[in-house]
Amino acid sequence: MFVCLGNICRSPLAEAVLAQRIAEMGFSAEIRVESCGTAAYHIGESPDPRTIAVAEKYNVPINHHAQQLKSSDFVTSDYLIVMDDSNADNAVKIKPKDAIALVYKLRDFDTEDEGSDVADPWFGDTDGFDECYHTVNRCSSEFLHFLVKKHNLVSA
Ligand code: 4NP
């Protein structure tokens, strides 16, 4: 479960990029990928038009309706992958006692500036969305390698 603030920019893009990579590598039966936001501002909305535009630019299918992070997501997801420290702070506020999800920042899996935030492109211009795509693309590949190794996944 990818987590950002509004679930219309970073996390739906990360979901779309990772879903495409999972399908390409033959792990669709083993790995479920979703996304949500900690805020309720955009529930039910499609991704921001700039998110859709950058996904189309890089030939990544994207089709999502924004949803808000729920306490139960900590139980039904193995991993909550947040975009920045503020997402982590917000998420932890609704963490239930029986949580099983491990919480990481997406850029914990980055090969550049490991551990830093995925900058929120919402207030910026389209360059920010391009940068966001490159960041989530790099990190999603590394995260998928991590999952395959850790869980001994074998592709179909
Ligand atoms: P996201 O970006 O968390 O990457 O989806 C944002 C989207 C909307 C808002 C903030 C960030 N907002 O304030 O509505």
* 38-81 residue pLDDT tens: 999 999 999 999 999 999 999 999 999 999 999 999 999 999 99
Any domain includes 155: no
Nearest-Å Rg of the Cα atoms of the chain is 14
Any domain includes 69: yes
Span 101-146, pLDDT tens digits: 999 999 999 999 999 999 999 999 999 999 999 999 999 999 999 9
CATH code for the domain of 89: 3.40.50.2300
4 is catalytic: yes
- How many CB atoms sit inside 10 A of residue 85's CB? 12
Residue 5 Cβ contacting ligand 1 at under 6 Å: yes
CB 22 within 8 A of CB 28: yes
Query: Whole-prediction pTM value?
Result: 0.98
Helix (H) or strand (E) holding 10: helix 10-24
For residue 156, pLDDT beyond 80: no
Any domain includes 156: no
Span 82-91, pLDDT tens digits: 999 999 999 9
d(CA 120, CA 45): 18
Atom of ligand 1 nearest to the CA of 11: 4
